[in-house]
Amino acid sequence: MVKGFMFPRTATGQASLLPNTPWHYSGAMLTLEYRTDPDAVAELLPEGIELADEDPGAIAVIWADWQSCSDSYEELLDPVRSQYMEAFVVVRCQYRGSHYSRCVYIWVDKDYALVRGQHQGYPKKMASIHMTRPITVGQAGARLEPGGRFGATIAAYDRRLIQAEFEITGASDNAGFVNGLPMLHNRLMPAIEGDGADSLDELVTMSAYQSEIGRTFTGDFQLQLFDSPTEELTRLQPRELIAGYWREVSFSWKSGTTLARRNLPETGDD
């Protein structure tokens, strides 16, 4: 009998790309919120999912500097397995009268983070991601105080996708509203027959089962989206900037809930 949460499953399970849940995350997030054309958001929503009633064009572009681990905590003593960068684009939507946050684009720089997110329905891809880290001593960085300036970039396939600058104006009691709801995602896998059908098609929701918030700041920002042959970000160009936020955050995740599952055709001979 083979073991393991994810592939490859082996006799011991040690080679599995992912450990069993729960998974724990601690880090810092830079969140930049703006408004775009609501029609550009609507075209990213699959059938049955609708725009949010209020502020349907609101978007959050988020950078995160993460350290993560399983319940064994052994990854923390092998940092290459625990530290990674992430960047994602979130919109708000509704399904059967309930409102959700939904990740429409997301990039990471480690394979385990990629597959872990795809298990949850995040459409993760690989990229090079960077953001300025705050400092408490010296001059090689920004202080977490008014006037502290941060930069953030995303690049994939040798092309810059997004770049931003953020300047703290003061402390904040929140980090925006776009990414503050349970997530609503689709878990998808095309059928091996290659006939256009899916062998996995689930609509799922999830949220953390515990979280802790640290220092939070708000500020002004500038944001640029660039054309790329492998992305469609410029369809979400800003019309109006809302606000930027920097926050320390941690959370733990174990499982989600399947809201709908498409009836898939049976296979095999009669």
Domains along the chain?
Answer: 23-185+210-254 (2.40.400.10)
Residue-averaged pLDDT of the chain: 96
The structure's pTM equals 0.95
- 222 C-beta neighbours (distance < 10 Å), count: 14
pLDDT tens-place string over residues 73-128: 999 999 999 999 999 999 999 999 999 999 999 999 999 999 999 999 999 999 99
Q: Residue 195 to residues 102, 121, 190, 198: CA-CA distances in angstroms?
A: 28, 22, 9, 9
The CA-based diameter of the chain, rounded to the nearest angstrom, is 73
Residue 57 near residue 37, CB atoms below 8 Å:
yes
Rounded mean pLDDT of 26-50? 98
pLDDT (0 to 100) of residue 262: 83
pLDDT of residue 270: 43
- Answer whether 19's CB lies under 8 Å from 72's CB: yes
Q: Which residues contact 266 (CB under 8 A, 6 or more apart)?
A: none
Among 47, 146, 162, CA closest to 105:
162
User: What pLDDT, on a 0 to 100 scale, did the predictor assign at position 263?
Assistant: 65
